[in-house]
A and B are shown apart, each in its own frame.
Chain A
Amino acid sequence: MTEKTRDFNMADEDFATVSSGASETYPQQCSALRKNGFVMLKGHPCKIVDMTTSKTGKHGHAKVHLVGLDIFNQKKYEDLCPSTHNMEVPNVTRKDYQFLDLDSGYLSLLEDNGTTREDLKLLENEIGKEIKTKFENGESFVVTVLKACGEEQVVATKVNN
Chain B
Amino acid sequence: MLLLALTDGGSLGRHYIAMFEATQNVMLKPTETWREALLDTRVMDLFFTVHRKIREDSDMAQDSLQCLAQLASMHGPVFPDEGAQVSYLAHLVEGLLSMINGIEIEDSEAMGISNIISNLITMFPRTCLTALPSDLFTSFINCLTLLTCSFGRSAALEEVLDKDDMVYMEAYDKLLESWLTLVQDEEHFPRGCFVQPAIQVFNSYIQCHLAAPDGTRNLSVNGISSHEEEEINELQEDDRELFCDQLSSIGMLGRVAADHCIPLLTNLLEDRVTRLHGQLQRTQQHLMATSDPESMDRKVLDDLYEDIHWLILVSGYVLADDCQGETPLIPSEVMEFSIKHSTEVDINTTLQILGSPGEKASSIPGCNRTDSVIRLLSAVLRTSEVESRATRASLTGLLSPQMGKDIMWFLRRWAKTYLLVDEKLYEQISIPLITAFGADTEGAQWIVGYLLEKVINNLSVWSSEPGLANDTVELLVTLVEKRERANIVVQCEGWWSLAKQFASRSPPLHLLSSPVQRTLMKALVLGGFAHMDSDAKQQYWAEVLHPLQQRFLNLINQENFAQISQQEAVKQEIIATLEALCGIAEATQIDNVVQLFSFLMDFLSSCIGLMEVYSNTPETINLIIEVFVEVAHKQICYLGEAKCMKLYEACLTLLQVYAKNNQNRKRCDAGAEEEQYQDLLLIMELLTNLLSKEFIDFSDTDEVFRNQDQGTPASSRPVSAADVVLYGVNIVLPLMSQDLLKFPSLCNQYYKLITFICEIFPEKIPQLPEELFKSLMFSLELGMTSMSSEVSQLCLEALSPLAEQCAKNQEKDTPLFIATRHFLKLVFDMLVLQKHNTEMTVAAGEALYTLVCLHQAEYSELVEALLSSQRDAVIYQRLADAFNKLTASSSPPTMDRKQKVAFLKSLEEFVSNVGGLLCVK
Contact = CB atoms under 8 A, between A and B. Distances in A.
A64 to B, nearest CB: 9
Contacts of A36: 618-619, 622, 671, 675, 678
Contacts of B617: 94
Interface in B570-613: none
A53 B234 contact: yes
B667 A156 contact: yes
B666 A158 contact: yes
Given A32-B513, A62-B467, A96 B616 contact: yes
Contacts of A74: 670
A144 B669 CA distance: 10
B583 to A, nearest CB: 15
Interface string B449-468: 00000000000000111110
Contact of A83 (B465, B660, B667): B465
B531 interface: no
B663 interface: yes
A117 interface: no
Contacts of B567: 93
A62 B401 contact: yes
A155 B231 contact: no
Contact of B465 (A56, A61, A157): A61
A125 B671 contact: no
A10 to B, nearest CB: 20
B402 A62 contact: no
A9 B127 CA distance: 94
Interface stretch (B61-69, B301-309, B311-319): B301-309
A116 interface: no
A31 B667 contact: no
B667 A71 contact: no
B430 to A, nearest CB: 35
Contacts of B302: 57, 59
Interface in B194-243: 229-235, 239
A107 interface: no
B716 interface: no
A62 to B, nearest CB: 5
A81 B617 CA distance: 28
B511 interface: yes
Contacts, number: 135
Contacts of B467: 53, 62
B668 A155 contact: yes
B913 interface: no
A121 interface: no
B104 interface: no
A157 B666 contact: yes
Contacts of B678: 36
A155 B671 contact: no
A56 B463 contact: no
A49 B465 contact: no
Interface residues of A, number: 48
Given A32-B510, A36-B619, A52-B234, A93 B566 contact: yes
B107 interface: no
B305 A37 contact: no
Contact of B668 (A46, A49, A125): A125
Contact of B670 (A71, A125, A158, A161): A71
Given A31-B463, A36-B675, A161-B660, A54 B233 contact: yes
Nearest to A58: B402
B717 to A, nearest CB: 29
Contact of B671 (A49, A141, A161): A49
A61 B397 contact: yes
A126 B668 contact: yes
A71 B566 CA distance: 16
A58 B232 contact: yes
Contacts of A71: 669-670
A49 B677 CA distance: 13
Interface string B388-430: 0000000001001111000000000000000000000000000
A159 B660 CA distance: 11
A122 B309 CA distance: 60
Given A57-B302, A156-B665, A157-B666, A62 B466 contact: yes
B568 A26 contact: yes
B670 A70 contact: yes
A53 B466 contact: yes
A54 B231 contact: yes
24 contacts: A30-B464, A32-B510, A32-B511, A32-B514, A34-B513, A36-B671, A47-B669, A49-B674, A54-B234, A56-B229, A58-B239, A58-B309, A59-B301, A59-B402, A60-B401, A61-B464, A62-B465, A68-B670, A71-B670, A83-B466, A94-B566, A95-B616, A155-B668, A158-B664
Interface of A: 26, 29-32, 34, 36-37, 46-47, 49, 52-62, 68-71, 74, 82-84, 91, 93-96, 125-127, 130, 141, 144, 146, 155-159, 161
Interface of B: 229-235, 239, 298, 301-302, 305-306, 309, 397, 400-403, 463-467, 510-514, 566-568, 616-619, 622, 660-661, 663-671, 674-675, 678
- Nearest 8 Cβ contacts at the A-B interface: A59-B400, A69-B670, A155-B669, A57-B229, A159-B664, A93-B566, A83-B464, A47-B670
